[in-house]
Structure 1
Amino acid sequence: MSKKRVLITGAAGYISSQLLPIFRDRYELVLLDSQKQGREGVIEDIIEVDLSNPDIESYRHHFQGIDAVVHNARISRPGLKSNAPVQWLDARPPNNVDSYYPERDSLDMAFHVFKLAMEENIGRVVVASSNHATDWYESTIHSGEKRMIGPETYPKSDNFYGWTKAAYEHMGFVFATGRFGKAVENVHIRIGAPRTIDGEKLHSNPTSYRRNLGAYFSPRDMCQLYIKSIETVDIKNSDGIPHQIFYGISDNTRAFWSLDNAREVVGYAPEDDSEQVFADEIEKYLT
């Protein structure tokens, strides 16, 4: 059986770096990014492409013959921080309102990816969304007003980073309906905390520490969820539309985002729990 041809955007980025070791063995890859330089060195097989360029004909050929797209890319601008703030902290500086501009560019790029997927008959698009699509609710979680947030919770964010991720998701739904032609099947993974949870660094703020333990997303669980999002045949939602939003976290004891639909639709079975992975530090700093 031949390997699926999978195109990855943002291939030099952090999320892609956690997927590539497994994906290289499993799929035939086409890697796109605006640069070849990754965190751990140059990635020679990356093709340098600016997917925010409205002239999609200049890079259409990379999308031809592709079975699935993993869209991990986003736009940044030097000197303009557009990452989301920490909603769970009472005191935080206001965001720069001009962070709208790179996020708008990222939204344009997502449109180009969906449009090409539709026109080139690509079977599936899996998008790196973010927990920040619903980050306005975080203060209610950590104050105890809410216990759990699920993909069905109306997305609310007080920053343009989260707003853009929610807009990706709605754009994906529009393309999944087939309103413009072929329905583009797509999955959005609201990524939590895909990194080591450093108790020594975080323990001075217990709320941040507990929050990150709840949000932890291990590399092997990330790979599993992405792979199942690519390969599961039927991803139709309750309306019969091939569109899903999953939270990207491990099976964490302190989780406050629901994995129910990821388990049900694609059979996600996370193997890690931050409570076990970081047990020694938790015992030292939280108990």
Structure 2
Amino acid sequence: MDAPKNDRDRPLVVITGGLGRVGTVLRPYLRRHHKLRIVDTAERADAVEPEPEVDIRRADIGEPDAAYEFLNGADAILHLAGDANPWHGWEDVYRANVRPMPALLQAAAAHAVPKIVLASSLHAAGEYNRPVFWPVSPRLEPKPCCAYGLSKVVVEALGRSHAERTGASVTCLRLGLTGWPLTERRYLGMWLSDGDAARLVLAALCAREPFGVHFGVSANSRRHWDTASAQTELGYRPQDDSELYADSAGPASGPVCRIFDDSSELRMRGMT
């Protein structure tokens, strides 16, 4: 995709949590096509160097007045902010992932933002990560494997409600392993490379589906998660394969959550 020829042609994308791990992966790619307004905590914002043509705001995204202010003029929202730790309990992930959503969506409705991309997670369907279900379809009912996954199911439901109520296009991306080194074999089936993460998000920002939920992984030979809907409905074209790293990836470092149970882990070890 060619970048717009001048700044006036670039739509403004507001990225919540844009200074985090996934946002750091995506920003260099998104800057080529969009004007960016990054909204994050003061702690993160004060720790980064200013970036050319990137507007960085310090705000609590769950505070209604702040959300209304930072969404002014937005053509799209990429919502990455939240707690992505599968070890955290419900109170922690609710506070970070669910509680801010009403203020964010109300402000989006007030400004009639036409496009919202919500970062969800494979953990929203983590209980399907068993050989009998591979490749897992995003059309299956959500089946979270932990409190974090459950919080993302709630976020998806709020996104659907917003789309139906306002007519905005809302796309939920159940991202796999993004922005982490591929050091363990059990992650080969859920890896999302930096380049494919950018291709997926750029496709989602351009798509005008009323509402959709799609898995975000690369073109991995170990097809644990079905990306057909992302390819057909968003135009996502993954190019990378985790199999390149299979020989260097090691054994599991310890328990995560039920996205890996003992039986599936033993089977996956037998495949390496």
Question: What TM-score, normalized by structure 1, do the two folds share?
Answer: 0.77
User: In structure 1, how many angstroms separate the alpha carbons of the residues matched to 2:247 and 2:150?
Assistant: 37
Contact 1:7 1:70 in 2 (8 A): yes
Q: 2:11 is matched by which residue type in structure 1?
A: K
Q: Does 1:131 pair with 2:122?
A: yes
Q: Partner residue of 1:239?
A: none
Q: Indicate yes or no: 2:21 matched with 1:14.
A: yes
Aligned residue among 260, 267, 271 for 2:239? 271
Q: Give the SS at the match of 1:220.
A: helix
Identical positions, percent: 26
Pair 282,30 (structure 1): closer, same or farther in 2 beyond 3 Å: closer
Task: Tell me the C-alpha RMSD between the 2 structures.
Answer: 2.3
Q: Which runs of 5+ in 2 are unaligned?
A: 251-268
Counterpart CA distance in 1 for 2:212 and 2:24 is: 24
Instruction: State the partner residue of 1:238.
Output: none
Structure 2 CA distance for aligned equivalents of residues 48 and 282 of structure 1: 38
Counterpart-to-counterpart distance in 1, 2:218 and 2:68: 35
Shift of 1:21: 0.8
Deviates more, 1:189-198 or 1:144-153: 144-153
Distance apart, 1:156 and its partner CA: 1.4
Q: Which residue of 2 aligns with 1:189?
A: 173
Q: Distance in 2 between matches of 1:51 and 1:229?
A: 22
Give the counterpart letter for 1:171 in structure 2: L
Note if 1:37 corresponds to 2:58.
Answer: no
Q: Which amino acid counterpart does residue 281 of structure 1 have in structure 2?
A: S
Where in structure 1 are there 5+ consecutive unaligned residues? 76-81, 86-95, 203-208, 236-241
- The yes-or-no answer on 1:4 pairing with 2:14 is no
CA drift of 1:43 comes to 4.1
Superposed CA offset, 1:185-244 (max 9, x none): 11111111112211xxx3xxxxxx1x3001110001000110010012x31xxxxxx111
Which residue identity lines up with residue 175 of structure 1 in the other structure?
H
What displacement does 1:280 show? 4.7
Residue 37 of structure 1 aligns to a residue whose secondary structure is helix
In the comparison of the two structures, how many residue pairs are matched? Answer: 240
Counterpart of 1:88 in structure 2 is none
Q: Which residue does 2:112 correspond to in 1?
A: 121
1:172 aligns with 2:140: no
Distance 2:247 2:141 in 1: 37
Amino acid at match of 1:107: V
Q: 1:102 Cα deviation (Å)?
A: 2.4
Other-structure match for 2:256: none
Secondary structure at the aligned position of 2:14 is classed as strand
Which of 83, 86, 109 is residue 84 of structure 1 equivalent to?
Answer: 86
Contact 2:67 2:104 in 1 (8 A): no
**1:282 to partner: Cα distance:** 6.2
Alignment partners' CA distance in 1, 2:26 and 2:56: 14
In structure 1, the residue matched to 2:100 is 109
Instruction: Tell me, yes or no, if structure 1 residue 156 matches structure 2 residue 143.
Output: yes
Assess if the C-alpha contact under 8 Å between 1:12 and 1:35 holds in 2.
Answer: no
In the TM superposition, what is the alpha-carbon distance from 1:279 to its structure 2 partner? 5.2
1:46 to 2:21 alignment: no
Residues 233-248 of structure 1 mapped to structure 2, 5 A cutoff: 234-235=208-209, 242-248=210-216
Tell me which residue corresponds to 1:90. Answer: none
How much does 1:259 deviate? 0.4
CA distance in 2, matches of 1:169, 1:72: 13
Partner in structure 2 of residue 261 of structure 1: 229
Show CA shifts across 1:143-193 (max 9, x none). Answer: x33222111111112422110101111111111112xxx222111111111
For residues 229 and 132 of structure 2, the distance between their equivalents in structure 1, rounded to whole angstroms, comes to 23
Segments of 4+ in structure 1 off by > 4 A? none
- Cα displacement (A) at 1:110: 2.0
